[in-house]
């Protein structure tokens, strides 16, 4: 007879969208390439000086959130662009690639991690980005699940503090114990983000699924398919201009 802890763990594991086990959530994958030398170095340097898992997770969260700039314009729909190591070496990414980086760094530090996806109506956007997307719904918005103190805890390191300041939003914090997901309202009490639909959690970024969804749902964003396309916008500048006093 399995004990209660084993039973609880099995229930948690069975919620993964691709049938992965907890052990799988410690292993490198194609996109969550936690064995890449730069990922290993980044994780080691970030968690140096502490052996506490919660503290390590928190340090990794803030490193990914603030050292990697959020940029929704310059991640083409190519496998290379969606690798965690690519996001790290570029120094920018968007919610999916930053979630992958968070997951890869956590695995490199010995913390089981997986990635989750949801469709959200995001009011933290710009007029230009909304026009390019043709909607204010962000499909397959990415976050990271971390296995800490016997449970999965959500972490969303997408928007760096410099960007949220420009939008006049409170930065999303993470303590390693409570889920860190977007607040429904901003500092002025206006609606910020609504979660519409969950796609589940995965041991690796489901790139092909995301690519096909984006091609169908964002037909007005052809630059997504062109790896060599010129930048089409500066999201931080747009945010600053639209939210100027």
pLDDT digits (tens, 9 = 90+) for 94-121: 999 999 999 999 999 999 999 999 999 8
Domain ranges of the chain: 13-229
* 127 vs 117: which has the higher pLDDT: 117
Structure confidence at residue 18 (pLDDT): 62
pTM of the model: 0.86
Structure confidence at residue 220 (pLDDT): 76
- Rg (C-alpha) for the chain, rounded Å, is 18
Most confident of 32-46, 204-218, 222-236: 32-46
Which class does domain 13-229 fall in?
alpha beta
DSSP 8-state assignment for residue 191:
B
3-state secondary structure 226-243: CCCCCCCCCHHHHHHHHC
């Amino acid at each position: 007879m399995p004990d209660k802890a084993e039973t609880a763990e099995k229930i948690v594991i069975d919620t993964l969208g691709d049938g992965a086990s907890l052990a799988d959530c410690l292993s490198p994958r194609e996109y969550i390439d936690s064995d890449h030398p730069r990922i290993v170095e980044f994780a080691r340097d970030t968690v140096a000086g502490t052996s506490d898992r919660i503290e390590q997770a928190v340090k990794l969260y803030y490193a990914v959130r603030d050292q990697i700039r959020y940029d929704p314009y310059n991640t083409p729909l190519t496998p290379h662009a969606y690798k965690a190591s690519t996001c790290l070496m570029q120094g920018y990414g968007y919610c999916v690639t930053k979630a992958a980086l968070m997951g890869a760094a956590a695995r490199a530090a010995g913390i089981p991690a997986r990635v989750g996806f949801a469709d959200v109506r995001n009011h933290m956007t710009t007029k230009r980005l909304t026009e390019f997307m043709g909607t204010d719904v962000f499909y397959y918005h990415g976050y990271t699940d971390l296995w800490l103190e016997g449970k999965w805890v959500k972490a969303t390191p997408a928007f760096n503090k410099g960007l949220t300041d420009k939008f006049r939003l409170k930065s999303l914090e993470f303590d390693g114990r409570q889920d860190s997901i977007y607040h429904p309202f901003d500092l002025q009490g206006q609606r910020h983000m609504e979660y519409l639909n969950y796609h589940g959690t995965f041991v690796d970024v489901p790139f092909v699924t995301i690519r096909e969804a984006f091609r169908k749902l964002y037909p007005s964003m052809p630059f997504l398919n062109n790896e060599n396309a010129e930048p089409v916008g500066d999201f931080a500048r747009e945010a600053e201009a639209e939210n100027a006093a």
